[in-house]
Structure 1
Amino acid sequence: MRVGAVAWIGLAGLAVAMGIGRFAFTPVLPLMQQEGSVTLVQGGWLATANYLGYLAGALICIGWHPGPARAVRWGLLSIAVLTFAMGLTEGFWIWLILRLLAGAASAFVLVGVSAWAMPRLALAHKKTWSGYVFSGVGVGICATGVICLAAGSLAFGARSTWICLGGVAAVFALALWLPLRGDDGHEVPVTKSRAAPLRGEARLAALCYGAFGYGYIIPATFLPALAREVITDPLLFGLIWPVFGAAGAISTLCAAAFLPHHSARRLWIRAQWILAAGVIAPVFTINLYVLLFSALCVGGTFMVITMAGIREARRLGGTSAARLIALYTAAFALGQILGPPTVSLFHGGLAAPSVLAAFVLVASSLALGRGASAPETSE
């Protein structure tokens, strides 16, 4: 398979997995609130179920090791079916199960794409093309936001929007099925070496990565819902999520070009300060410009921090890099799971959880800064 096809398949897979399987609920939530089918607190628990499913799916992949191409194919098909089901069913508890399963399916696709595409790009000496693959996250978020923006402006209900998103996921699942099926069993061999124990610095970095997961998830879950509370025009409050996704896609491409020549930890720290500013900005005042600023800050840094964090894990982990990345994944997922219940703890208010999230991000940046002057080895 040509390297260009590998990059495009990876991009499309992540666009569906993250844009629909993981984060479609964020822009659909205002429509569901408008219909009275869920409250903001219930929305927080639905989001938590999805993040819990993501953690479970990642842990299953770590223990089971499914074939990467097979994991992507069945994960995408599952996302399509589960998203369709959101529009064909009613009831909080049914939706809770569907979002849980969609989170698990998204993890299968993310892990599968990473294990399938990255070694092929490396073998073709195109490591920097990983930016194109991971820009699929932002592309998917942006595309989902545009679909929900159109749904809001055309007065489509949440049910019709879920069915539309399920149809989009099904189209991509079917389009990628044959190319990936033809690649089953053709895995790129990787060199294995004995893993060394993880150092304290590596464990601290994993804790900071978990803090990043907690800090970014409040705006990543509730920003469009917050926009709906202060902006009545759906064409305006619906802009927030496409801007978030576009910032994510563009910043990913920039980070892929920037990272090979700069300190991953320093980039992580600087991006996290910007993220903290975006998280706390709506606490002081809420209007369209502040919300767009927040969308740019959060959307433009979350994938940069992800890429910088994984690169730092590879540096700190050495021969135990895979184990440290798994620890990062678990810490990040746990951070995400803790975020939405914080909103429920404050009875649906977003100000206090946002301040807490910003504080956690600042503390994480300061902790990372203590080791920022440590020498970095090239990969």
Structure 2
Amino acid sequence: MAAMISLAVAMGVGRFAFTPLFPLMVRDGLLASEAGAMLAASNYLGYLVGAMVAARIKVKAATLLALGLISTVIVTAAVGWTTSVPLWAILRFVAGVMSAWTLVATSAWGLGWLAAQGRPHLAGAIFAGVGLGIAAAGLFCLVTAGPEVSSLGMWIGLGVLAGTATLVPLAVSRSLPAPVVSPGATAPQGTSHKPHSSTGGLIVCYTLFGFGYILPATYLPALARQLVDDPQVFGLAWPLFGTAAALSTVFVAWGLKSVNRLNIWAASHLLMAVGVLLPAIWASLVSVSIAALLVGGTFMVITMIAMQEVRARAEGNTTAVLGRMTAGFAFGQLMGPIASAVIGRFTADFATALNYALALSAAGLLSSAFYLWRELRRHHAY
């Protein structure tokens, strides 16, 4: 429960609160689309830097978790204390750094305890926290959004909500700082038992996943707002996304006893590719809703499966290996808006550029799905 709440705060609020609040900040005249893209890229860059640094920080996972959570709460609330876009960019950068630290630390700490207790099937509950955090942030915006409510006040409100939730993981990580893993308890369910040297291709697939999911994860509410301007309607896209993410990890974790992790990973990339491409070829609230379900229902499954698979293959410092995975993901998601911006220089408008970028993202997801299936067949050949 503590690890689940930790991811809900760090990722659902620290990383993704900007997504439902972005169209509301545009509504309030605080941001233009170009500035919003810059703030998103700043957060992605911070996530990349945080992941790279996390692999080198020589502190206990529980300590890194506490530092990341406390800082996330502070920088989230601080967005509502200013109207300076450059300062927002700095705050979103720091939020990205802290989110990466917390994800790496929570994965090492939480999965370590599950392995020590011989209960790896509960990994789905831990990673469901991201979806729960996304849904909670989306519902908070949906309930509080109104003509008389400032988006700046909503940032502060989210910070207070996150700070309250953070008390649980801070208390538990302090009382249970480090798991004691018994022999034979380190291999999670569904492991393919591949050696440590085989993680390179998986990191590339995880990088393509970061590139593939980030555009819909950033612009789903904005795409919905282009179709209908009522926040009570377009605001539903994000809670739908988060709910799908939360439920999917629990369901998939239950099925890991009978299905190989690489198979689930590859199938998730395929389904996500469909969800990424759908809004580009069919502009409607129905397509945006289906995309929210497909992308939301697979992105945390991929995160959970990938973290478990690489952790099973790691030797020695699992935090460092998970940090490299997160760094690859962060690099991929940073390339998403950059690719969209480059394409935009050769297209007539933002919508056209986004559609081309979505198609490119879907291609990356499909290619990585084929690689994972080939890796699975190679494993069975041995």
Tell me whether the two structures share a fold, i.e. TM-score over 0.5. Answer: yes
Asked if the contact 2:42–2:92 (Cα under 8 Å) also holds between the matched residues in 1, the reply is yes
Q: 2:246 is matched with which residue?
A: 249
CA deviations over 1:168-195 (Å, ceiling 9, x no partner):
11112334433333345x553688xxxx
Output one character per residue of 1:69-103: Cα deviation in whole Å (capped at 9) or x when no partner: 22222221111111111001112110110001011
Equivalent of 1:63 in 56, 69, 92: 56
Question: Which residue of structure 1 aligns with residue 188 of structure 2?
Answer: none
Say if 1:183 and 1:318 are closer, same or farther in 2 by CA, change over 3 A.
closer
**More deviation, 326-335/248-257:** 326-335
Q: How does 1:165-176 map onto structure 2 within 5 Å? A: 165-176=158-169
**Hey, what does 2:304 align to over in structure 1?**
307
What does residue range 121-140 of structure 1 map to in structure 2 within 5 Å? Answer: 121-140=114-133
Which letter does structure 2 place at the counterpart of 1:173?
T
Structure 2 residues not aligned, in runs of 5+: 184-193, 345-349
- Residues in 1 aligned to 2:311 and 2:110: alpha-carbon distance in whole angstroms: 18
The share of aligned pairs that are identical, in percent, is 38
> 1:374 and 1:244 mapped to 2: Cα distance?
34
1:260 partner letter: K
Task: Please state if 1:107 is matched with 2:107.
Answer: no
**Alignment partner, residue 33 of structure 1:** 26
Provide the rounded CA distance (Å) in 1 between the counterparts of 2:70 and 2:266.
37
**8 Å CA contact retained: 2:269, 2:365:** yes
Aligned twin of 1:262: 259
Instruction: Tell me, yes or no, if structure 1 residue 319 matches structure 2 residue 335.
Output: no
| The one of 42, 53, 57 aligned to 2:46 | 53
Shift of 1:320: 7.0
Write the distance in 1 (CA, Å) between the matches of 2:306 and 2:380. Answer: 14
Secondary structure at the residue paired with 2:377? coil
Measure the CA separation in 2 of the matches of 1:117 and 1:311.
11
Q: Tell me, in whole angstroms, the C-alpha distance in 1 between the residues paired with 2:77 and 2:150.
A: 14
Which amino acid is the alignment partner of residue 202 of structure 2?
Answer: A
Q: Distance in 1 between matches of 2:218 and 2:261?
A: 26
Q: Which moved more, 1:105-114 or 1:152-161?
A: 152-161
1:188 aligns with 2:180: yes
- Distance between the aligned counterparts of 2:209 and 2:317, measured in 1? 19
Cα 1:104–1:118 change in 2 (3 A) is: same
Q: Is the 8 A contact 1:138 1:247 kept in 2?
A: yes
CA distance in 1, matches of 2:107, 2:260: 22
The residue number in structure 1 matching 2:217 is 220
Is 1:178 aligned with 2:174?
A: no
Residue pair 1:215, 1:357 contacting (<8 A) in 2 also? yes
Classify the secondary structure of the residue corresponding to 1:228: helix
Distance 1:113 1:324, change over 3 A: closer
Partner in structure 1 of residue 187 of structure 2: none
Say which SS state the counterpart of residue 31 (structure 2) adopts: coil
Is contact 2:272-2:298 (8 Å) kept? yes
Aligned AA (2:238): W
- Where do 5+ consecutive residues of structure 1 fail to align? 1-7
Which one-letter code corresponds to 2:152 in the other structure?
A: R
CA contact (8 A) 1:275 1:301 kept: yes
Q: Is the 8 A contact 2:248 2:297 kept in 1?
A: yes
Deviations 1:134-166 (A, max 9, x none): 110110001001011113246522101101101
Asked if the contact 2:5/2:166 (under 8 Å) is kept, the reply is no
How many residue pairs are counted as aligned between the two chains?
364
Is residue 78 from structure 1 mapped to residue 71 from structure 2 by the alignment?
yes
Q: Does the residue aligned with 2:7 lie in a helix, a strand or coil? A: helix
**In 1, Cα distance between equivalents of 2:295 and 2:83:** 32
| 2:256 counterpart SS class | helix
Report the RMSD for the aligned CA atoms in angstroms.
2.4
